[in-house]
Structure 1
């Protein structure tokens, strides 16, 4: 007789762990099914943590090379790529060990197996030794994650390429590298390798990098990457790929002109796709929209007792969003399975934020200026440059700016963008304010220590607050006598 659980979670990454932990805390008998060889999930094993470890190494190397502007002299040094990779692997192993402990000692049952649906309440399990079994549950949360997208050219598979998994197992720096893609993974790795002396060219199909950010922010990053010697080719379509000896060749078309790029290695960083394979979702009756399952605000799929979360649903492929989605899905699945009423907890994407850890860093929160213009939403927008800010000048990090978006009536903060030093940290002050529907005046009146980077946020807030005050004053003024209607 197969075991019957209240909630079964498929996938042990950030979303799956959050879902299982949440469901178990509500008293649901919970199972977490994970078939991957290593426990930990994408963020720990091949995403957030290893990339940030590598970026920190290249950031420090770059800083050492610029110490002369602070009146310092450094002894000749060189980057040690194997040592950089060894440090990254050690840190990843430590993070993974902590997560493995949480998964194996949690208040839920961990089952090491691949799952495939037989119907909405039952999955077939295949463990690493090939043994077959079955599992039934009143509700499921699918958090199976994502996989590297297929290459845009079949020839790439023939000549070989790196992806975000295989790049972590390299032991030698290539002399030259072509990066395909324009998202966070592409730009972060492009800068990492370029700073270690690799000749890097980045090829992007779209007209600019980081399409989820406003173009004024990404323009600053593009300028910085070019200044560091990275070749950027945007609006470029791949035509063919081939190999000649140790060299790999790409032919592409850009603005009607044909180009040929030659490099020692090619890094495919063109994104990820929800991992639907092997789950047999049609047997469960789940409706798929293109490449991902449809979910509502409760993270519920088209089948009432099946929920989904994380990269698997492809809404916002960001770890903290995956955790929130997992918690929402886990709570709602537990409520349903335990007979405590219909799903009630909802996702709120108003506070969606994203960070890119290049130098300069980029961060966005809430509404973007371009999205507001597309919907003709009225806005007040104010910017302030790091080049005009005292602490940034002291640090020698003056590239970029901060900007705030607010609605015109009260000045409530609706969106923010930062490109510049410590953007990943500065954005969190704004998250706290946005969560309480704060206005620009609220931010402007908060005391900030001087000199700090964070006080730069008050300057665009002051400008918006002044504009709101002027507008409110004008609305309260009596009509001008020159515009009073005449009396017949």
Structure 2
């Protein structure tokens, strides 16, 4: 029979779940936090943090290329994408370590790295990264595992090495050409970013406008800005 560790709350997922764990610990609860990969969740590891770091680098490249419009001449602009990725990853690791340090300061928090599986209504089994297993029990279990990108059903897509928003951020070499499927805000963000790095970029959107949740005049303005930077929409 499994030997269960008892907690007030078990949280599965160390993204927003990590923030909840901190608040519960501050309130005196005994908390177990289970994370499969890295603390911080999608925003810190694959979204906001690395994306904005890449965008900042792309803006520097764009400013350097267009500086001549202000009478400033910089010469040829070259982007070393591996250096951009290295800087982004360092920022991500810094944030992850800060989160880990904060959570580790609570004596009433147990942090486990592994994959959780329910064993009952109030019980889970965690397959830890070292190959062992832990069994946890709590009256409350919070599922905060986040989301993943939806892959569109497009004929032939499974036959190519397509890129997601996460894998794009780990590219070490700049693609000569990039086709962005979709016209949402993430698509527009990545399209402009890689165009400013130096790729030829095309956005393919099935709907009648980019940013379909926005008013038409907003969408048209964004499309015009992108076309001004030689992005084909």
Report the TM-score when normalising by structure 1.
0.45
1:3-31 per-position Cα deviation (integer Å, ceiling 9, x unaligned): 12111111001x10111111111121111
Change (3 A) 1:29 1:52: same
Aligned to 1:26: 27
What CA distance in whole angstroms lies between the structure 1 residues aligned with 2:66 and 2:179?
A: 26
- Tell me what 1:435 maps to: none
Question: Do the aligned partners of 1:151 and 1:157 also contact (CA within 8 Å) in 2?
Answer: no
Q: Tell me by how many angstroms 1:141 deviates.
A: 1.6
User: Within 2, Cα distance between the matches of 1:46 and 1:189?
Assistant: 13
Q: Tell me the alpha carbon deviations over residues 113-134 of structure 1, each in whole angstroms, 9 at most, x when there is no partner.
A: 2112233311222112333332
Structure 1 residues 217-296: aligned runs within 5 Å: 217-232=218-233
Taking structure 1 as reference, are residues 108 and 215 closer, same or farther at Cα in structure 2, changes over 3 Å only? Answer: farther
Counterpart CA distance in 2 for 1:103 and 1:72 is: 48
Identify the residue that residue 5 of structure 1 maps to in structure 2: 7
Q: Aligned Cα RMSD in Å? A: 1.8
Residue correspondence of structure 1 range 204-223 to structure 2 within 5 A: 204-223=205-224
Deviation at 1:100, TM superposition (A): 2.5
Structure 2 residue matching 1:66: 3-state secondary structure: helix
Task: List, as ranges, runs of 4+ consecutive aligned residues in structure 1 with deviation greater than 6 Å.
Answer: none
Report the counterpart of residue 109 of structure 1 in structure 2.
Answer: 110
Structure 2 match to 1:198: 199
Question: Could you say which residue in structure 1 is the equivalent of 2:94?
Answer: 94
Within 1, Cα distance between the matches of 2:18 and 2:94?
Answer: 18
User: Secondary structure, in 3 states, of the residue corresponding to 1:135?
Assistant: strand
Match of 2:85 in 1: 85
Give how far 1:50 is off. 0.6
Which residue pairs with 1:17 in the alignment?
18
Assess, with a 3 A threshold, how the Cα gap between structure 1 residues 216 and 86 changes in structure 2: closer, same or farther. Answer: same
Give unpaired runs (5+ residues) of structure 1: 233-488
- In 1, Cα distance between equivalents of 2:201 and 2:126: 44
The structure with the largest alpha-carbon Rg is 1
**Structure 2, unaligned stretches of length 5 or more?**
none
Distance 1:170 1:117, change over 3 A: same
Equivalent in the alignment of 1:333 = none
Q: Paired residues, what number?
A: 230
Take 1:104 and 1:77, find their aligned partners in 2: how far apart are those partners? Answer: 44
**1:117/1:205 CA distance change after superposition, 3 Å:** farther
> Who is 1:270 aligned against?
none
For residues 452-471 of structure 1, what are the structure 2 equivalents within 5 Å?
none
- Give 1:109 deviation, angstroms: 1.3
- Cα distance 1:2–1:154, how it changes in 2: closer, same or farther (>3 A)? farther
Q: Per the alignment, in what secondary structure is the counterpart of residue 148 of structure 2?
A: strand
Q: How do 1:298-377 and structure 2 match up within 5 A?
A: none
